[in-house]
């Protein structure tokens, strides 16, 4: 996942994404060499867009379909605390081979109070191309977010939800790999897979200096820290330069001024 990308302060766009799988491999027949890779289109859209629909327009030019994501674009210039969201405040875009679908989802966000993104395609057109069978509204993490979202009342409680892995006390998730922040290392068949960092931003943080809060490593809120010891002491997974244990606190990050 790309970290939250804040465009220049004049436009105040916040851009995040989660990746979607392509299960129908025949979809890749739509790929063409006459395209531009995702990272380049992202940089161009971040640089040129002044609003959410503009970001979708620039990102869609010369689409590639080789790195397929659900993109969420929030325009903080249109956000006024205590007022209903204006049109074009929040857009959601999905890319699959041969297709990009983007729509204004401000009314959805106003009604539901949050938008969850679960590595599951949302739009019918992109779902069909990808061969997605999970339902965006009822998949595992959708149900987890629905149960946890009412408890989010602060930046700190949002941090807790994004790092949630209390599967032992959940009626929804029944393994450490089914949590909001998965921990494959805690399963019976231990594997080095799952969430490797957490990132949270808020309108007030961004207004105070475009600050993002982040923490490195698998979650250690509800579970012990991940360590390259015990079952993983002789792991074949490359980890040169890693600390022995990922036992870090949240820390603020902001764009460099270059000075």
Break the chain into its structural domains and give their ranges.
1-135
* Segment 67-95, tens digit of pLDDT: 999 999 999 999 999 999 999 999 999 99
What percent of the chain stands above pLDDT 70?
A: 95
Query: Is pLDDT above 90 for 46?
Result: yes
Cβ atoms of residues 258 and 222 within 8 Å: no
Burial of 188 (0-12, 13-18, 19+ CB in 10 A): exposed
* Beta-carbon count within 10 A of 69 CB: 21
Please choose, from the candidates 159, 153, 226, 151, the residue with its C-alpha nearest in 3D space to the C-alpha of residue 199: 159
Return the pLDDT at 209: 87
Yes or no: is domain 1-135 CATH 3.30.930.10?
no
pLDDT of residue 5: 57
Q: What is the pTM of this model?
A: 0.91
For the stretch 200-244, pLDDT in tens is 999 998 888 889 999 999 999 999 999 999 999 999 999 999 999
Residue 74 in tokens: 């929030």
Q: What distance lies between CA 155 and its chain's CA centroid? A: 17
Q: Which residue has the higher pLDDT, 120 or 9?
A: 120
**119: enclosing H helix or E strand:** none
| Residue 103: strand pairing partners | 92
């Amino acid at each position: 996942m790309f970290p939250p990308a804040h465009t220049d302060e004049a436009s105040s766009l916040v851009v995040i994404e989660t990746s979607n799988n392509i299960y129908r491999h025949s979809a890749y027949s739509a790929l063409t060499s006459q395209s531009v890779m995702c990272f380049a289109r992202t940089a161009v859209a971040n640089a040129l867009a002044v609003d959410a629909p503009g970001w979708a327009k620039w990102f869609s030019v010369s689409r590639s379909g080789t790195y397929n994501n659900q993109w969420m674009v929030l325009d903080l210039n249109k956000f006024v605390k205590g007022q209903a969201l204006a049109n074009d405040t929040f857009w959601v875009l999905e890319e699959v081979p041969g297709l990009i679908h983007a729509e204004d989802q401000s009314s959805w966000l106003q009604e539901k109070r949050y938008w969850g993104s679960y590595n599951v395609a949302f739009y019918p057109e992109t779902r069909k191309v990808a061969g997605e069978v999970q339902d965006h509204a009822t998949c595992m993490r959708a149900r987890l977010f629905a149960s946890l979202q009412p408890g989010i009342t602060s930046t700190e409680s949002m941090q807790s939800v994004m790092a949630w892995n209390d599967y032992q006390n959940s009626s929804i998730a029944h393994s450490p790999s089914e949590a909001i922040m998965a921990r494959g290392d805690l399963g019976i068949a231990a594997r080095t897979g799952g969430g490797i960092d957490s990132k949270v931003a808020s309108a007030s943080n961004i207004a105070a200096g475009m600050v993002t809060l982040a923490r490195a490593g698998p979650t250690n809120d509800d579970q012990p820290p991940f360590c390259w010891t015990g079952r993983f002491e002789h792991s074949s997974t490359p980890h040169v330069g890693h600390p022995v244990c990922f036992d870090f606190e949240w820390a603020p990050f902001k764009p460099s001024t270059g000075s």
